Structure formats: structure tokens, C-alpha cells
A and B are shown apart, each in its own frame.
Chain A
């Protein structure tokens, strides 16, 4: 696959997002409202019937390759994130920040999962005759262990919402749908665990909020700063960035910046408070 095609894919995402971001500037305060509207779909589930819930974005993808590339875009982001910060922060630093020693193992396990997701999605897209999007350069705004773990929580909850919202686009491909759901469940497991580490409820709602591609990309795109250098061996940028994307992601999940900061402060020793042997 060529770098230019991957770049073109991301540019098309970015283009789609510029509009969303422009809109979000004018309704930043209303972002919550938008989420409430998305959440409203979920609320309907608890109403008379499950029928009637539908994401408005059924026309978002031209076919399964597009859906899988959408998923792959997020998996690249996640894998790079864990690879970068598992390398940057030692187990000792995690413990110094108040996390039990097992947390290091768990974060490595999550990294391995995201890599497996990247590999599988890339393989399948290729086998379907498509062009798999590649890893980009990202800026996550992580400054310390606490913000690493807090950001991980945001990314996993975002990923869960993304798969929840996108699974419907694979309804005509039973096996792809099933396969996507087997990834979806693991993202939800990660999200649950990271919420525990961050001192928030592992399962805040009875029904997951399905996020539309527009919502997800609005949150994720600010984290993508550009294509990898042509050498393909460039390191990932993660410094000098702002937390804007993360805050947008948090906003997309109805989490205020203040709550995010509070989480960071609280992200001590939650796992230590849990049963021994974890």
C-alpha cells in the first residue's frame, strides 16, 4: 500500500471533521447537548421498545473496507498510544504514581491486544482487496502517569462507543460483524478496567452509548498530527501537543474537563484497594 493513499484517507477524515469541529466551536457548550441527543437514543431503549433506535449515519461507509478502515484508524491510534507510553513510563513509575504492580502487566496486555487488532484488520482489509490505513503520527498530550491512565480510559471508552455505533454497518456480512463484535467486547473490557483505575464507574450506564463516526472522528482527529515520515521508522510525536483532542473525546462522552482532572487526581491506589491477588 502507498503512503499517499493512507494520507488521502486521513485527509478525507480530516475534511469531514473540519466541518464537525467548526460546528463544535459554535456549540461547544452544546456538545453535551449533542451527546445527550446521542444518549437519547439509548434512553429510548429503556422506553417502550428497542425498535426505533437507529444511528443516522447509515450512509457513512461505502462498504465493509471503509468500516474496517474506520476501526483500524482507531486501533492504530490506541496501539501507538500504549506502545509509546508503556515505553516511556516504567513499572516503577506506575507504582510511584500509586498503582499496583499488576497494572503494568495489564497495560502491556492491552497494548498486545491493540496490536493484534491492528494486525488482523490490516490483513483482512488487504484480503478484501482494500488499502489498509497505516499508522500516523499522533499527539496525545500525556505528561505523566496519571494523564497516561486517564487518557487511556478516554480512548477505550471512545473505542467502545465507536464499535457500538459502527457494528450496524456490517449487518450484511455476518462473519465480519461477528468478528467486529469480538473486538468490541474486548475494548469494553479495557474501558471497564481503566475506569476502575481512574476511579470512575466501570459501567456507568445500562446501555452503551453508540457514537456516530462523526462524533468519534471529531474526538480522534485532533490527536492525529500527520503522516509518518517516508522512512517509515520515525518515532511517534507525543510531546508539545495539547489535550484538546482528549478533552473533545471526553466531551463526546459527557465527561467534563474538570471531571477528567479530578479523575487524574483520584487515579491513585484504586487497584490497591481491590482484593489481593489482582
Chain B
């Protein structure tokens, strides 16, 4: 059987190329946000180059720990950030939504840890992070970068999951990450949905974005 889905990928790639060039024509190119996730999505990443995930993970526990690494990062980011800024510093309603996002990330961490343990694996622990923001504006900018990267990370890793239940579960998480990303783009004054298609990122690409946040 010929490579059936290469056709799909090419078709989508073509669509993406169109939408990227249309955006450029309208002069509303993606803003550079902290971490450069959006820039990467729009420019650097070969959108549907075959996702390298399959050989990046040796089993489902690896994939789950990869997801958990990002969820720890996100949860710690909101937990600490919301503890350091008062609600009054945000536009109306934004703080409450950030609290919801924080709680979602916490729920994702708990679910992933439980699952890894139940599969006989060892969940990665939370690390020490430095997100480098100085104020609420910087905090919101990093938040958007984290969420957009999270969506791309899940999209890039999902194909490596072998267990259908785990795939379903990942699907229920990535949609919520995309909802967060949309909202945070919106709050930052950016396009909530800058492309007709998400950009899957390989673990290597994601770790390039995320590594600077880790304090060694």
C-alpha cells in the first residue's frame, strides 16, 4: 500500500503554506512570544514533517512522563505566579480563569502521576524552574508560550502512544491545553487561532523551548 497519509500530510502542508503566506500578506505575522513557540510554529517547523516521536519514546510510560514533564512545568508556573500577583493586577475575569487553568494543570499532573504508577513506571518529579517574568505582562506572555507549546507537544507525541485508552486520555488533555492557548493568546492581544491547523512539535523541538526554564 502506498504511503496513504503522506498525501494527507502534503495536502495539509499545502494548506498551511497558503495560510501562512496569506497572513504575511495581511501583515499580521505571528508575534514573537517568550520561548518562540509561535514563531517556530509559523516559520521554522516543517509542519507535517514526519513526527519523530515514534523513535523518541520506548513505550507509553515514556510518553506519559514527557507529558508529565510539561504539566509539572505548567502547574508550577501558575501556582507560583498566581501566588505572587494579586487578582487586581489583571483585567476583569482574567485572574479567575488563570486559577481554573492552574487547577486544570494540577489535575493533569495528578492523573498522569497516578497512571504512570499504575503502569509500574516512575513518574518524573517537579523540577526547579525560572520563568524569567518580571510583571503581569511578562507572566501572561510566558503563559501563552507554555500553552501553545503544550498543544504542539501533545500533537507531536500522540502518535507514539500505543494504548488506545491512553490515547483517548491524551486527547481529553490536549483539547483543554488548546482552549487555554486560545484564551491566553486572546488575553495577550494575539490571534487565538493563528492557523487552521496546529503544528505538532517533536520532543527535541519542545525541549529546546522548555529547557531554558529549568534551573540546574
Which A residues have a C-beta under 8 Å from some C-beta of B?
Answer: 42, 45-55, 58, 64, 106, 109-110, 112-113, 116-117, 119-120, 123-124, 127-128, 160, 163-165, 167-168, 171, 173-179, 181-186, 188-193, 196, 201-203, 205-210, 273-278
Contacts and interface: CB of A to CB of B under 8 A. Distances in A.
B35 interface: no
Interface string B1-42: 000111111011001001100000000000000000000000
Contact of A185 (B91, B174, B189): B174
B193 A193 contact: yes
Given A42-B172, A167-B167, A185-B151, 6 more contacts: A48-B114, A52-B165, A168-B167, A175-B159, A185-B178, A186-B195
Contact of B115 (A49, A182, A185, A207): A49
Given A45-B111, A181-B155, A203-B104, A173 B178 contact: no
Contacts of A210: 168, 171-172
Given A46-B107, A120-B15, A273-B92, A208 B176 contact: yes
Contact of B183 (A116, A176, A184, A202): A202
Chain B interface size, under 10 / 10 to 19 / 20 to 34 / 35 or more: 35 or more
Contacts of A208: 171-173, 175-176
Interface string B158-174: 11010111111101111
A47 B93 CA distance: 30
A109 B193 contact: yes
Nearest to B26: A105
Which of B54, B107, B119, B197 has the most chain A CB atoms inside 10 A of its CB?
A: B197
Contacts of A55: 168
B9 A175 contact: yes
Contact of B19 (A53, A112, A206): A112
B200 A182 contact: yes
A103 B8 CA distance: 31
B88 to A, nearest CB: 15
Contacts of A51: 115, 118-119, 163, 165-166
